[in-house]
Chain A
Amino acid sequence: MLNTFDILETIRMIQDECLDIRTITMGISLLDCIDPDIDKACEKVYNKITTKAANLVSVGQQIEKEYGIPIVNKRISVTPIAMLAAACPNDDPVKFALALQRAADTCGVNFIGGYSALVQKGFSAGDLALIKSIPEALSVTTNICSSVNVGSSKSGINMDAVKIMGEVILESAKVTADRQCIGPAKLVVFCNAPEDNPFMAGAFHGPGEPDCVINVGVSGPGVVRAAIAKYPDATIDGIADVIKKTAFKVTRMGQLVGSRASQMLGVPFGIVDLSLAPTPAVGDSVAHILEGIGLEQCGTHGTTAALALLNDAVKKGGVMASSNVGGLSGAFIPVSEDQGMIDAALAGTLCLEKLEAMTAVCSVGLDMIVVPGDITAETISAIIADEAAIGMVNNKTTAVRLIPAIGMQEGDMLEFGGLLGSGPVMPINRKSPAKFISRGGRIPAPMHSIKN
């Protein structure tokens, strides 16, 4: 029997605490679209995406009405385009980006992710050309996201790729300087990239995935914060328990929506990504959860421990609620997308070094961080290398999404608008890592990668 309290709790979560399904992401394999003629390949890509995802947006809207739960984004992830570009080495891969943009416009989705390359151990045909084309691809499109995997616990870190990515990020910012440097906000550099991640900008459809699949990303920082606020005197294990129970409810909703979407679209259901993804909206902040646990402001001493607790409790609560958990699953800490993080960065409480420590215990990496426009490519590469090393050694996903604010200095703000929010330019360490980065080569995989 339905309980009045449960009904009202669910409605309060949605109405007052910003509970929503963050994204339904359809993963589509493009391996059958490979063609040595790039124009034919682009046509096949467009046709496959627009056929498979023709009803994605309308089904999403129908489910929103059926369950009364907002589904904020409907998105698509595709096979890393470098695999398609490999078949046409003499052509410009940007053509694929334009084909994806056309498909995004036709389907009505707000992002397609997968302008990607996996180069953790080295470059195969197509990889280098694709990576070098990223700045242009992100500049001439609006709804395409790009990612590059430069390292993994199994294979080490490809330092040649790390070096190039520093240059690519800087170049992406320069060519979109007239648009709030939006280019690099759509570009993620990964270590241990998950193949079934539904969240942008790092989503791509891994080569080991089925032909077509539905993945769901849930959200709900506001719900967790409100739940914690009800227990002002609980011990830390009490707090962990509250978070687990809340994560369970949120994930169950994701599981329900995902299985319904998969049934309506006739596509297998992949995973639920049980992440706490903040938005710039009031009350939808991960930083505010940490502050609710007992920190005066996010970024102070104790932040890493509180985040570790939060991240672990979210997973434990969510795992039981879903038949298949995947993607990134954990707490996100994007600075520009989280009002609490923005405030902490503006107040000087949250710095790049503290964020780096936080990435060792949460599900992502240095995310949506605005750095001064006069940063060197080598410094960006070195930040990527640090972050990739944390991921490689700790067997976890880490990522870097830095936005060099061209022509801006510390204290200025970049305004992206929408879900990407706005970010203050954060100070960086100015000593040069150029010699380290210029060496190239590969950081060998750590000892514990040899598990067989």
Chain B
Amino acid sequence: MRAVITVIGKDTVGILHKVSGICAKHNANVVEVTQSVLQDMFAMIMLVDISGMGENFASLTDDMSALGSEQGLAIHCMHEDIFNSMHKI
């Protein structure tokens, strides 16, 4: 089971650190990261393995939303099933 975390917003020091810190706290293993900074806009898509975190996915989402509103970032945290079902037959 994997989840996709996307982060978009104004670039500041330590965004990746804070996001991956929350992942570590919830025992979600970061599998893949693509990241780009265009001028001062930060955009990142992170794939994390959530098999180790049991049924606590909602708390990861909550923490990410809290970080997003605190830092002024748009953070979405979604189970990979939604992308697989919408975009693959």
Contacts and interface: CB of A to CB of B under 8 A. Distances in A.
B86 interface: yes
A65 B80 CA distance: 13
Contacts of B62: 65
A67 B82 contact: yes
Contact of B86 (A4, A65, A68, A253): A253
A67 B78 contact: yes
A67 B87 CA distance: 14
Given A3-B87, A6-B87, A68-B77, A253 B82 contact: yes
A252 B61 CA distance: 22
B81 A67 contact: yes
Given A7-B6, A256-B81, A68 B45 contact: no
Given A7-B4, A7-B45, A66-B58, A2 B82 contact: no
A68 B62 CA distance: 11
B79 A66 contact: yes
A255 interface: yes
Nearest to B32: A2
A69 interface: yes
Contacts of B6: 7-8, 11
Interface in B66-89: 74, 76-87
A423 B80 CA distance: 40
A10 interface: yes
Contact of A66 (B34, B61, B76, B84): B61
Contacts of B45: 4, 7
A106 interface: no
Contacts of A256: 81-82, 85
Contacts of B87: 3, 6, 9-10, 249
B42 interface: no
Interface in B36-54: 45, 47
A249 B76 CA distance: 19
A47 interface: no
Contacts, number: 60
A10 B61 contact: no
B57 A66 contact: yes
A4 B78 contact: no
Given A65-B58, A65-B61, A67-B81, A4 B47 contact: no
B76 A11 contact: yes
A62 B56 CA distance: 10
A382 B86 CA distance: 44
B58 A10 contact: no
Given A7-B4, A11-B76, A69 B61 contact: no
Contact of A2 (B58, B61, B80, B85): B80
A376 B85 CA distance: 51
A66 B76 CA distance: 10
A252 B57 contact: no
A226 to B, nearest CB: 15
Contacts of B61: 65-66, 68
Interface in B5-50: 6, 34, 45, 47
B76 A68 contact: yes
A9 B86 CA distance: 10
Given A11-B78, A67-B78, 13 more contacts: A2-B80, A4-B45, A7-B6, A11-B76, A65-B62, A66-B58, A66-B61, A66-B78, A66-B79, A68-B79, A252-B86, A253-B86, A255-B85
Interface of B: 4, 6, 34, 45, 47, 57-58, 61-62, 74, 76-87
17 contacts: A2-B4, A2-B84, A3-B87, A4-B34, A6-B83, A6-B87, A7-B83, A9-B87, A10-B86, A11-B78, A15-B76, A65-B57, A65-B58, A65-B61, A67-B82, A69-B82, A256-B81
Closest 9 CB pairs of A and B: A68-B78, A6-B87, A65-B58, A65-B61, A256-B85, A67-B82, A252-B85, A249-B86, A252-B86
